Amino acid sequence: MTNLLLKNYKLSDDVAFRFSDKNWVDHPLYAEKYAQWVNQINGGGELLNLFMDYETFGEHQWEDTGIFDFMQQLPGELLKNPDNNFVTVSEAARRYPIRDTVDVHNFTSWADMER
């Protein structure tokens, strides 16, 4: 058995893929709004994982989209809520108990539409 930390793909993809999409209903996305979305899900000892590729920052989302300003402001906005904090993968594995099992028979991906 292997422990997994599953990402919240909607919130992760909001930054990774939709951040600069001017046709997206939530464009432009500000750190304050994003933190509110996190706060609606987080709390009560739950772990919310936001995973994005490094290429998100500078390749998928160019500097002129405001992504770097967004990321600079995001930690402060998230930490306004006392339920929020940041942990490494190792800390999460130690701190949070296994909640469930996932039986995976086929290949999966954290990207693309077929997840």
What are the tens digits of pLDDT across the range 85-97? 999 999 998 988 8
pTM score of the predicted model: 0.85
29-71 per-position pLDDT tens digit: 999 999 999 999 876 778 899 999 998 998 889 999 999 999 9
pLDDT band at 103 (very low <50, low <70, confident <90, very high): confident
| Secondary structure (DSSP) of the chain | --------HHHHHHHHTSTT-TTSTTPSP-HHHHHHHHHHH--TT--------GGGBTTTB-GGGTHHHHHHHHHHHHTTSTT-----HHHHHHHS---------S---SSSTT-
